[in-house]
Amino acid sequence: MLQLKAQSQRLQLILDFLKEQAFMRASFAQIHDYLRTVLPSLGLKPISRRSLESDLQILREEGSERLLHVRVSKKHYYQLLSAPHKAISNTLKASMLEQIASQLGASTKSLEKSLQDKLVFQFSALNDDGKSFELAAVCTQAITQQYLLQFLYQSAFGTYKTKLQVVAPLQVRFYEGRYYLIASVWSELLKAPRPAIKVFAFDLIEDFVVVPALVEREDGAEGELQYFSWQELSEEVGLKTYFKHCLGIARFKESTPEIIRLKFTDWAISYVKSRKLHASQRIVIDHPNYIVVELYIYRTYELSMLLSRFRDYGVEVL
Per-residue pLDDT reduced to its tens digit, 122-180: 666 567 778 888 899 899 999 999 999 999 998 776 666 789 999 999 999 998 888 99
Give the pLDDT confidence score for residue 241 in this predicted structure: 93
Q: Is the pTM of this model over 0.75?
A: no
What radius of gyration, in Å, describes the C-alpha atoms of the chain? Answer: 27
For 220-255, the pLDDT digits (tens) are 666 788 999 999 999 999 999 999 999 989 888 888
- How open is the CA angle 99-104-106, to the nearest 5 degrees? 75
Give the pLDDT confidence score for residue 1 in this predicted structure: 36
All residues at 6 or more sequence positions from 28 whose CB lies less than 8 Å from its CB, including other chains: 49, 52, 53, 56, 76, 78
Task: Report residue 72: phi and psi, to 5°.
Answer: -130, 120
Strands (E), 123-238: 149-153, 163-175, 178-187, 192-193, 198-201, 211-212
**Terminal CA-CA length for the chain:** 72
Mean pLDDT of successive 10-residue segments in the chain (318 residues)? 69 87 83 91 87 88 77 78 60 79 71 68 70 89 94 78 92 90 94 94 92 80 86 95 92 89 93 92 94 94 88 80
